[in-house]
Structure 1
């Protein structure tokens, strides 16, 4: 069972720091989101194949653990362990859900966040790389944003297989 509150607690504890129990990257957004999902009880699988599954083990990790584009496709296609359902709008997301960002609109996803608060139906997110807490989900105020930006919204499934 996905513990959304635990995922959000972790995101709020570590949004502006790096947990020494995990690797840290210059581009750390997806690694951070993976840690949040793990804190919420998401099960890892696929080791030792870096291109399959979602995992961190023995000093190495899957691409989906640490690369935005890879996590986006993992969440869209996974049928085992950590799974998600793609929804059409940010307003459909709840706490602990994930947003993937393609800032250029070129099909390559370059950022990942986790929903940590909602004001009405509007989600606010936490992120790493440029550390943020309770930032408006659309990033329209970011230098990374372009009018071509595309988003994919994932509701993390509460039950794991």
Structure 2
């Protein structure tokens, strides 16, 4: 009779023997499996020959863009002329730069890029590089492209002058009227002289501002002067007609919406931003070169009103 917790010696021997048999069987299965795997690794491919490793593929070459020329090598400071870059593979182009100015929109085919020339930066004359950008192509130019901005039009002369003196006043020639109420109209009058307008008995300033008339320095008087002289060709446009405005046109403001004009500036840029026409202005009194029209009447002077005086191109 076995005591609690103990087996007879014969039972212990049987259990030991059984354990050895099970372990031996498991070892045999494992060895057999390993042998089969080894045999499989050593088996040749069909036909008795091992399959060769795949040959490395050469990298795919980037497409090549070849640029051959420009349809026009020079143009006005204000831009706007139709321009075409010719070559091949041009559909891969993602951007065009003329100097530092990015071309906002262009039409690309395999052999051409067509777009409207942007204005010269700061309305300065001179030669600038023409560059195209393509992230997934190699650009091959026989020679660097260059475009020359030239002072060609009345508006070119007006804007070049405005950007030269919007901050550094031309005191030696015209003086300043800031001490007596503001210089915005005096500055606009100067730019109109550069544009080709001639002084009249009603509109003039002589002797560095010592001899002047009211329309030269005072916005309401100048507004009346334009209305009284239709031969000047100025056309009034509402601010909601900004799509008809042009660089070089004038913008007058009534800050308090009380039918008394307070300020005038020159349109210095017109841009399309997210489907909106954005107008920028240059002028004196809050001296600025690219002042935003909408910010002027909503942030600087909330509730202000105004309108454009659109001027003939020449």
Q: TM-score range by the shorter chain?
A: 0.7 to 0.9
- Residue 37 of structure 2 corresponds to none
Structure 1 unmatched ranges of 5 or more = 47-52
- Residue 100 of structure 1 corresponds to 252
Out of 189, 206, 227, the position equivalent to 1:76 is: 227
- What's the RMSD between the two structures over aligned residues? 1.7
- Is this contact kept in 2: 1:5–1:95, CA < 8 A? no
Q: Rg: which structure is higher?
A: 2
- Residue 128 of structure 1 corresponds to 284
- Residue 194 of structure 2 corresponds to 39
**Correspondence list, 1:8-157, <5 A:** 8-19=159-170, 20-26=172-178, 27-46=182-201, 53-58=202-207, 59-80=210-231, 82-88=232-238, 89-120=241-272, 121-138=277-294, 139=296, 140-142=298-300, 145-147=301-303, 149-157=304-312
Give distance in 2, aligned partners of 1:83 and 1:56.
22
Displacement of 1:30:
0.7
Q: Structure 1 pair 42/79, CA: closer, same or farther in 2 (3 Å)?
A: same
Displacement of 1:122:
2.2
Displacement of 1:83:
4.1
TM-score, normalization by structure 1: 0.84
TM-score, normalization by structure 2: 0.45
- Residue 4 of structure 1 corresponds to 155
Give distance in 1, aligned partners of 2:165 and 2:229.
27
Select the structure with the greater relative contact order (CA < 8 A; seq sep ≥ 6).
1
* Residues matched between the structures, number: 148
Give distance in 2, aligned partners of 1:76 and 1:153.
13
CA deviations 1:118-145 (Å, max 9, x no partner) are 1123221001011011111231331xx1
Q: Secondary structure, in 3 states, of the residue corresponding to 2:173?
A: coil
Q: Identify the structure with the greater helix proportion.
A: 2
- Is this contact kept in 2: 1:64–1:74, CA < 8 A? yes
Give distance in 2, aligned partners of 1:112 and 1:16.
16
Give distance in 1, aligned partners of 2:312 and 2:228.
13
Structure 2 unmatched ranges of 5 or more = 1-152
- Is this contact kept in 2: 1:76–1:86, CA < 8 A? no
- Is this contact kept in 2: 1:91–1:123, CA < 8 A? no
Displacement of 1:87:
1.7
Q: Identify the structure with the greater strand proportion.
A: 2
Q: Secondary structure, in 3 states, of the residue corresponding to 2:193?
A: helix
